[in-house]
Amino acid sequence: MTKILTIHQQTELENSLNELLSAYEVRQVFVLCDDNSKIHCLPLIAGFPCLKEAQHIIVPAGDEHKNLETLSTVWSFLSRKGGTRKSLLINLGGGMPCDLGGFAAACFKRGIDFINIPTTLLACVDAALGGKTGINFNGLKNEIGAFYPAKAVLIYPAFFRSLDRNNLYSGYAEMLKHGLLSSHSHWQQVLHFDPTAASTHESAGLILDSMSVKERIVGEDPFEKGLRKALNLGHTIGHAFESLSHKQHKPLLHGHAVALGLVCELYLSHKLAGFPLQELKACVDRVKQAYSAYPLQKSDYPALIGLMQHDKKNRDQHIRFCLLKNIGDILPDETATREQIEASLDYYCESML
């Protein structure tokens, strides 16, 4: 199980890293950042004595760079600088460095250790946890990857102070998902959470609760054979929204796309599994309040459904969804017809546009 540490003081962060890095040679520690985390986050840890000889790998920021070319750059750096099977890679950044760095670690020398230090709310409650690593390929998100968990995840909410509203709300969408998968009380707490307060001590408990939902599910099903598919709630349609937005040159952040996907997939849950209309409306109201709707025409439906058909969860030519009978009452591996999916997109347009 991945060790999760929530840290509120810089001295605690240094002490935790000291302890975790004591098992590694100082010249075998590598820190992976993107252009953003290099500016906003690396200076906070680079001066720690335990990292004084760590070598820095800097990659371009943005999900469009989570690709084979960037991955090759990381491997080349590790090889050129004498990385061995006893090396440690520290991924400092948002979801892109966590996903890319985790996959780089999973493959280099057939697997080296890595630690995630997520610097965005989205990475904290999603990419840093659960052992899913990967890159995008042929226009499809996370098409190539591996299950390979981090040795530890260090949560330092002070990093979230550098985030703008859009990025904070990107992480909030995953918290909404975790609330839906958890309990009525957790769901109500998340509905009323203000993501702009994510860096405060008062918010740490709810963020950790959100992380714990994912950790519990992953612990029961680490390789996504059954229950872990619940974590795809909102993602089958959400990923399609995200991919379409990039193709149309109006890119959505991952969490914003997932929030829109939740609207559609809770509608499917209502129609196909009896999910309460009251809870559907509560989610739609919160999403409408927090996120901008992505403009969608009926002429976009075939492209969206085509993207859904490439989803890794699918089998037997059926598009798979996680649906809910109620809050926390999960049907992790369900199907819907093309007509039902189109009806959910109609509902999205009627509710959000």
User: What is the structure's pLDDT at 66?
Assistant: 97
Same domain, 243 and 157: no
Q: Would the pLDDT of 313 be above 80?
A: no
- pTM of the model as a whole: 0.95
Q: How confident is the model at residue 5 (pLDDT cuts 50, 70, 90)?
A: very high
Residue 330 has φ and ψ, to the nearest 5°, of -105, 135
Residues 9 and 82 in one domain: yes
Burial 102-128 (b: 16+ CB within 10 A, else e): bbbbbbbeeebbbbbbbbbbbbbbbbb
Residue range 35-42: average pLDDT?
97
Report which of residues 313 and 344 the model is more confident about. 344
Residues 197 and 101 reside in one and the same domain:
no
pLDDT of residue 140: 79
Q: Are residues 322 and 199 in the same domain?
A: yes
Residue-number span of the structural domain to which 280 is assigned: 168-352
User: Rounded mean pLDDT of the chain?
Assistant: 96
118 and 235 co-located in one domain: no
Residue 320 maps to which CATH number?
Answer: 1.20.1090.10
Based on the domain organization, do 196 and 106 belong to the same domain?
Answer: no
Q: How does residue 311 score in pLDDT terms, banded at 50, 70 and 90?
A: confident
Q: How far is CA 70 from the centre of its chain?
A: 19
Domain match, 149 and 202 both: no
Please name the helix (run of DSSP H) or strand (run of DSSP E) that holds residue 130, with its range, or none. Answer: none
Q: Are residues 218 and 249 in the same domain?
A: yes
Helix axes 254-273, 165-181, angle to 10 degrees: 30
In tens, the pLDDT along 175-232 reads 999 999 999 999 999 999 999 999 999 999 999 999 999 999 999 999 999 999 999 9
Average pLDDT of span 241-249: 93
User: How many H helices and E strands in the chain?
Assistant: 14, 10
Query: Please, which pLDDT band fits residue 275 given cuts at 50, 70 and 90?
Result: very high
Condensed to tens digits (0 to 9), the pLDDT of residues 64-89 reads 999 999 999 999 999 999 999 999 99
CA-to-CA dists, residue 263 to 103, 127, 283, 311, angstroms: 31, 22, 7, 19
Task: Calculate mean pLDDT across residues 244-273.
Answer: 96
Report how many domains make up the chain.
Answer: 2
Band of pLDDT at residue 348, cut at 50, 70 and 90: very high
Cβ(327)–Cβ(183) under 8 Å?
A: yes
What is the DSSP annotation of 197-239? GTTSHHHHHHHHHHHHHHHHHHHH-TT-SSGGGGGGTTHHHHH
**Residues facing residue 91 across a β-bridge:** 32, 116
Tell me, yes or no, whether 199 and 348 share the same domain. yes
Q: Which residue has the tokens 């969408």?
A: 173
Q: How far is residue 59 from each of residues 35, 126, 229, measured CA to CA in Å?
A: 6, 21, 31
Residue 217 φ then ψ, to 5° = -65, -45
Contact of 24 with 53, CB cutoff 8 Å: no
- DSSP label at residue 314: -
| Cβ atoms 331, 232 nearer than 8 A | no
157 with 201, same domain: the answer is: no
| Contact residues for 98 (Cβ-Cβ < 8 A; gap 6+) | 91, 116, 118, 123, 127, 128, 133
Q: Are residues 182 and 331 in the same domain?
A: yes
Backbone angles phi, psi at 325, to 5 degrees: -85, -30
Given this model, what pLDDT does residue 223 score?
94
Mean pLDDT along residues 268-278: 98
Same domain, 339 and 283: yes
What is 273-292 written as a DSSP string? H---HHHHHHHHHHHHHHSP
Tokens of 320: 């798979």
pLDDT at 312: 66
The secondary structure of residue 296, as a DSSP letter, is -
Distance CA 231, CA 174 (A): 9
Res 139: pLDDT: 78
Residue that finishes a domain, picked among 162, 187, 211: 162
pLDDT digits (tens, 9 = 90+) for 139-176: 777 899 999 999 999 999 999 999 999 999 999 999 99
- If pLDDT is split at 50, 70 and 90, which confidence band does 316 have? low
Q: Which of 144, 162, 180 is the last residue of a domain?
A: 162
The region that residue 94 occupies, defined by phi over 0 for left and psi between -120 and 50 for alpha, beta otherwise, is beta
Report pLDDT for 111: 98
Residues 299-305 have a mean pLDDT of 97
Residues forming a β-bridge with 207: none
* 10-29 pLDDT per residue, tens: 999 999 999 999 999 999 99
Looking at 112, 128, 162, the residue that finishes a domain is: 162
H or E segment at 38?
helix 35-40
Confidence of residue 276 (pLDDT cuts 50, 70, 90): very high
